[in-house]
Amino acid sequence: MHKFLKKITLAFTFVWGLAGAGMAEPLKLTVFGDSLVQGYGLAQGDGLVPQLQRWLAAQDVVVQVVNAGVSGDTSAGGAARIDWALADHPDGVIVLLGGNDLLRGLPPQDTRANLSHIIEAAQGAGAEVMLVGMQAPLNYGAEYKAQFDAIYSDLAQRYGVLLHPLAFAGIMQEVGSDPAQFGAYMQDDNIHPNARGVALNVAAMGPQLLDLLKRMQQAQAQE
C-alpha cells in the first residue's frame, strides 16, 4: 500500500510539473504616452489600446494591453510617472511621447533626455521597449526639425530598442501622394486620429509589434 501511494504521488507531481511548465502567465504590454494613447475624443472601443488589443487577438496572440496614456502629457510628464507605470511589472512597454513637446516648441535636447530616462527605467525593470517616433513640422525651422526628428532613431540605436518610426505611419501610407486626404482620418482638431485613422496606424505598427512580442516571449522563457 505504501509503495502504491508513493507511485501515485510521483505521478501526480510529474503531471503537475508539466501543467505548470505550459501555463506561463499571459504577457503584459503597457502602452505609455499621451492623448494618442489615452484615446482622446474617441468612443471607448475606438482608441489605440483597444484597437491594439483586437489586432493582437486577430493574430492569435494572448497578451494583456494596459492603457497608460495621459492626455496633454509631455515627455517630462512621462519621465516623472514612468516608475508608477512600471509598478505592475509589464513584459513590454510601447513609448509614444513627444507630440506635446512639439506643440509647445520644447527644446529637443530636453525631449531626448526625458525619453532616455523612460527607456532606461523600463529596461531596468526588465521590460522590452518599442519606441514610436514623431516628426516635427517646419514651423520652428529646419534646424529644430532635424534635431527633433533624429531623437527616436538615435535612442533606438543607443539602447537597442525597437523603433516604429512614425506614429501616423498608417495614415501617411494610406493617403500617399495626396495629403489633402489626411483630414479624412483625423478628428476635427486635425491633431488626433479618428477611429479609421487609429486602425490604419495600428496596422502599420504590426511588424514592429510582433517583433516586440517575440522579444517579450523570449525574455519570459528565460525567467
Mean pLDDT of 101-119: 98
pLDDT digits (tens, 9 = 90+) for 124-143: 999 999 999 999 999 999 99
Average pLDDT over residues 75-98: 98
User: Do the Cβ atoms of 37 and 48 come closer than 8 Å?
Assistant: yes
In DSSP notation, the chain reads -HHHHHHHHHHHHHHHHHHHHT-PPPEEEEEEESHHHHTTTS-TTTSHHHHHHHHHHHTT--EEEEEEE-TT--HHHHHHHHHHHTTT--SEEEEE--HHHHHTT--HHHHHHHHHHHHHHHHHTT-EEEEE-----GGG-HHHHHHHHHHHHHHHHHHT-EEE--TTHHHHHHHTT-GGGGGGGB-TTSSSB-HHHHHHHHHHHHHHHHHHHHHHHHHHHH-
How much is the pLDDT for 4? 39
Give the model's confidence band at 17: pLDDT under 50 very low, under 70 low, under 90 confident, else very high: very low
pTM for this entry: 0.88
Domain 26-222 has CATH 3.40.50.1110: yes
CA distance 60 to 105: 41
Judge whether residue 22 has pLDDT over 60: no
Tell me the C-alpha distance between 29 and 91, whole Å.
Answer: 6
Enumerate the active-site residues.
35, 189, 192
Pairing of strands 63-69, 27-33: parallel
Q: What is the pLDDT of residue 19?
A: 36
Say if residue 3's pLDDT is above 80. no
Question: For 43-58, how does the pLDDT look when each residue is reduced to its tens digit (9 = 90+)?
Answer: 999 999 999 999 999 9
Over 90: is that where the pLDDT of 86 sits? yes
Q: How high is the pLDDT of residue 169?
A: 97
Closest CA to 129 of 167, 162, 151, 86: 162
With a cut of 90, say whether residue 93 has pLDDT above it. Answer: yes
CA distance linking residue 19 with residue 169, whole number of Å: 42
Q: CB–CB of 122/158 below 8 Å?
A: no
Cell of 21: 511548465
What confidence score (pLDDT) does residue 24 get? 65
Q: Quick check: 14 pLDDT over 90?
A: no
Q: Give the model's pLDDT for residue 39.
A: 97
9/80: higher pLDDT: 80
- The model's pLDDT over 177-204, given as tens digits with 9 standing for 90+, comes to 788 899 999 999 999 999 999 999 999 9
